[in-house]
Amino acid sequence: MPWQENNHRYFFSVESINSNAPADSGVYGLYNTMEWVYIGESANIRETLLGRRKAMDSCLRLMAPTGFTFELCSEESRAERAEELISELRPHCNALRLRSVEGI
């Protein structure tokens, strides 16, 4: 399992985010029943997940995430940790963003 600290998965609903996501620094992952959708990092996981739930970009709307998980980590290490998870899990929306940045 690539997530070091938190093997729990939660529904991607406002209620579940408020109940389970910490207002702390770390990385988070969104998934649907078929695949990983997006991996991100944030200074406040709860706030970021609520924002993603409220204003999904076109890729997230298309992929319809149903759940989330997270891992707490320091501000200094979270970008690197997010990149490790993206490399290992290959989430759909991160891959699309990478291809568009690289012009592929």
Helix residue ranges, H only, 1-104: 14-20, 45-54, 58-63, 75-89, 92-102
pLDDT digits (tens, 9 = 90+) for 39-83: 999 999 999 999 999 988 889 999 999 999 999 999 999 999 999
Using CA atoms, how far apart are residues 13 and 73, in angstroms rounded to an integer?
Answer: 23
pLDDT at 49: 97
Radius of gyration of the chain (CA): 13
Question: Count of alpha carbons within 13 Å of 35, Cβ hemisphere only?
Answer: 14
Does domain 10-102 bear CATH number 1.20.120.1200?
no
Q: What are the boundaries of each domain within the chain?
A: 10-102
Confidence of residue 9 (pLDDT cuts 50, 70, 90): very high
Closest CA to 28 of 56, 1, 9: 9
Percentage of the chain beyond pLDDT 70 is 88
* pLDDT at 20 exceeding the cut of 50: yes
* pLDDT at 101 exceeding the cut of 70: no
